[in-house]
């Protein structure tokens, strides 16, 4: 029992500032190592529901029913050692002292922000970002060779200009690369996207998505470059493509998602806002 208690515990309480709701992260042991799961307090205090979620996540629990019940109740009643927060959206916070990334934050924050709720972006491979290497290796292997191309230097400047749109009071804007097929447009886009952690064409957002998903993607890239792959993936008849591009261009510059009924938003009325530099 003591061994199980050491591995099953509350790690942190996290407030989602977009919804005002709280979740708690539970650490546990499973057969191939350790794991974590985030659950609402109402689930944690419902013993049977709590056990079901832990089982589904692969957690190892005592076989003795009484010992298991005591353990789950004890974990439910304990207080998490740390309190953190998921921000409303990526980009600059209200005070412009903290810059929020999907899974991290740069700068000082009294709220101890650790990014945004991962449920917003999970399950979608396109648009995922990661960190690898150092800024010096990026400078030597990407930035310096780009100095031989005015187009590459231009798009990289756009990538670094994203975070200063807000402080300068500027709106979103888009750069469209035009040229024959296989002329290097995607490679140029990827070079700019490498600044924000996108390393391959498979990770680039593309136009083969609904307008609602596009709005969600834009919010994830708030105050950053928003690289999106070839317009050819739009599909449809020419006049349909033209009409959709008109609508999307207006929406991107406007910086707000489509208004929806409050029941659809489930209490989240602020996430779909953005200020980006698009490149396609």
Say what the pLDDT of residue 226 is: 92
**In this structure, are residues 133 and 142 in contact, taking their beta carbons and an 8 Å threshold?**
no
User: What is the C-alpha separation between 55 and 146, in angstroms, rounded?
Assistant: 51
Q: What is the pLDDT along the chain (280 residues), one digit of tens a residue?
A: 556 667 899 999 999 988 889 999 999 999 888 999 999 999 999 999 999 999 999 999 998 899 999 999 999 999 998 999 998 888 988 778 889 988 888 887 667 888 888 877 665 557 778 888 889 999 999 999 999 999 999 999 999 999 999 889 888 988 888 888 888 888 899 999 999 989 888 888 888 777 777 888 888 899 999 998 877 777 788 888 888 888 888 878 877 766 555 555 554 444 578 899 999 8
Say what the pLDDT of residue 125 is: 58
Say what the pLDDT of residue 97 is: 83
A 10 A CB-CB count for 119 gives 11
User: What is the C-alpha separation between 8 and 75, in angstroms, rounded?
Assistant: 7
Residue-range domain boundaries for the chain: 2-85, 123-279
User: What is the C-alpha separation between 207 and 214, in angstroms, rounded?
Assistant: 8
How are beta strands 277-279 and 225-227 bridged, if at all?
parallel
User: What is the C-alpha separation between 86 and 12, in angstroms, rounded?
Assistant: 12
**In this structure, are residues 86 and 101 in contact, taking their beta carbons and an 8 Å threshold?**
no
User: What is the C-alpha separation between 148 and 134, in angstroms, rounded?
Assistant: 22
Say what the pLDDT of residue 213 is: 78
A 10 A CB-CB count for 262 gives 9
Specify the DSSP element, H or E, that contains 247. helix 238-254
Tokens encoding 243: 């009409």
Say what the pLDDT of residue 183 is: 85
Tokens encoding 239: 């006049």
The residues, any chain, with a CB within 8 Å of residue 194's CB and separated by 6 or more, are: 138, 142
User: What is the C-alpha separation between 133 and 199, in angstroms, rounded?
Assistant: 12
**In this structure, are residues 16 and 117 in contact, taking their beta carbons and an 8 Å threshold?**
yes
The residues, any chain, with a CB within 8 Å of residue 279's CB and separated by 6 or more, are: 155, 158, 174, 175, 176, 177, 189, 192, 225, 226, 227, 228
Residue 277: phi and psi, rounded to 5, are -110, 110
pTM recorded for the entire structure: 0.76
DSSP 45: T
Residue 180: phi and psi, rounded to 5, are -65, 160
Say what the pLDDT of residue 124 is: 54
């Amino acid at each position: 029992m003591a061994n199980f208690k050491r591995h099953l515990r509350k790690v942190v309480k996290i407030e989602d500032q977009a919804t005002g709701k709280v979740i708690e992260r539970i650490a546990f042991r499973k057969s191939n190592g350790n794991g974590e799961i985030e659950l609402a307090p109402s689930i944690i205090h419902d013993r049977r529901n709590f056990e079901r979620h832990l089982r589904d996540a692969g957690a190892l629990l005592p076989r003795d029913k009484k010992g298991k019940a005591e353990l789950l109740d004890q974990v439910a009643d304990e207080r998490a050692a740390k309190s953190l927060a998921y921000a409303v959206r990526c980009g600059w916070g209200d005070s412009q002292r903290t810059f929020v990334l999907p899974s991290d934050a740069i700068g000082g924050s009294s709220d101890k922000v650790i990014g945004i709720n991962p449920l917003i972006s999970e399950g979608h491979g396109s648009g995922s970002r990661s960190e690898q290497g150092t800024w010096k290796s990026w400078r030597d292997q990407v930035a310096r060779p780009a100095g031989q191309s005015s187009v590459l230097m231009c798009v990289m400047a756009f990538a670094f200009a994203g975070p200063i749109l807000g402080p300068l009071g500027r709106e979103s804007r888009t750069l469209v690369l035009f040229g024959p097929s296989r002329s290097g447009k995607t490679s140029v886009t990827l070079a700019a996207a490498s600044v924000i952690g996108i390393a391959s064409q498979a990770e680039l957002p593309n136009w083969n998505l609904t307008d609602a998903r596009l709005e969600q993607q834009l919010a994830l890239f708030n105050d950053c470059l928003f690289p999106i792959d070839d317009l050819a993936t739009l599909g449809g008849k020419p006049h349909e493509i033209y009409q959709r591009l008109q609508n999307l261009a207006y929406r991107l510059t406007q910086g707000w998602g489509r208004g929806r009924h409050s029941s659809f938003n489930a209490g989240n009325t602020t996430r779909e806002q953005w200020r980006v530099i698009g490149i396609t």
